[in-house]
């Protein structure tokens, strides 16, 4: 369901990704291991459609049979919102919003109804041991609690793929 071919990435003269090929099937759990600075986050950002690989004729990326590299911005944003979930290396919660609101936002963007979204968000937060913390803002949460909120946020739209960049303190 994720098929990447010949992915390259350069940051100026730094050649970070040198022709990555990857084939991940539905239901597979895959870990990418490498030294700090090896390019793990860079690769996840590209597979997650948040960044582009270097342009080349034989480079391609398909997720659930969608040809990602030819999609227009708007279609790609919608695809990302409904099919992909992200847990970033630095949690990237929105500071102005509570834990519950942070979890609900991707569902609101997808046009889901408020009441049913809140029920599902509370269920996820409870499952992750945060039922006492749902009305706290990110700066009132510990690092591990923030990570768990980010996990709930990644799950709220029941995505086909979850990209998790070192969510390891959980």
Residues lying near ligand ATP in the complex (CB under 6 A): 11, 14, 16, 34, 36-42, 89
Q: Tell whether residue 41 is a contact of Mg ion (CB under 5 A).
A: yes
Q: Which does 34 bind (CB under 5 to 8 A by kind): Mg ion, ligand ATP, none?
A: ligand ATP
* Residues 6 or more apart whose Cβ sits within 8 Å of residue 50: 80, 86
- What span, in angstroms and rounded, lies between the C-alpha atoms of 10 and 23? 22
| Cβ count within 10 A of residue 115 | 8
> Contact, 162 vs 170, CB < 8 A?
no
C-beta of 130 vs 164, nearer to Mg ion: 164
Q: How far is the CB of 53 from ligand ATP (least distance, A)?
A: 13
Residue carrying the six token digits 């919102």: 81
- What span, in angstroms and rounded, lies between the C-alpha atoms of 168 and 165? 8
C-beta of 92 vs 131, nearer to ligand ATP: 92
Q: Tell whether residue 147 is a contact of Mg ion (CB under 5 A).
A: no
Q: How far is the CB of 56 from Mg ion (least distance, A)?
A: 24
Residue carrying the six token digits 């942070």: 102
Helix (H), strand (E) counts: the chain:
5, 6
Q: How far is the CB of 9 from ligand ATP (least distance, A)?
A: 8
Window of 1-9, 52-60, 86-94, 152-160 that interacts with Mg ion by CB under 5 A: 86-94
Window of 18-26, 67-75, 83-91, 100-108 that interacts with Mg ion by CB under 5 A: 83-91
Binding footprint of Mg ion on the chain (CB under 5 A): 40-41, 89
């Amino acid at each position: 369901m994720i098929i990447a071919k010949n992915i390259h990435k350069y940051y100026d003269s730094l050649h970070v990704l040198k022709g990555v090929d990857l084939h991940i099937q539905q239901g597979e759990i895959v870990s990418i291991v490498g030294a700090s600075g090896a390019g793990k986050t860079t690769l996840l950002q590209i597979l997650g459609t948040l960044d582009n690989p270097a342009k080349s004729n034989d480079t391609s990326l398909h997720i659930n049979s969608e040809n990602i590299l030819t999609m227009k911005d708007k279609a790609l944003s919608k695809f990302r919102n409904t099919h992909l979930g992200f847990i970033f290396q630095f949690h990237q919660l929105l500071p102005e919003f509570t834990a519950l609101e942070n979890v609900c936002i991707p569902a609101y963007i997808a046009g889901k109804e408020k009441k049913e979204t809140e029920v599902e968000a509370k269920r996820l937060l409870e499952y992750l041991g945060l039922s006492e913390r749902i009305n706290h803002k990110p700066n009132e949460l510990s690092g591990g609690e923030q990570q768990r909120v980010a996990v709930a946020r990644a799950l709220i739209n029941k995505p086909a793929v979850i990209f998790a960049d070192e969510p390891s303190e959980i």
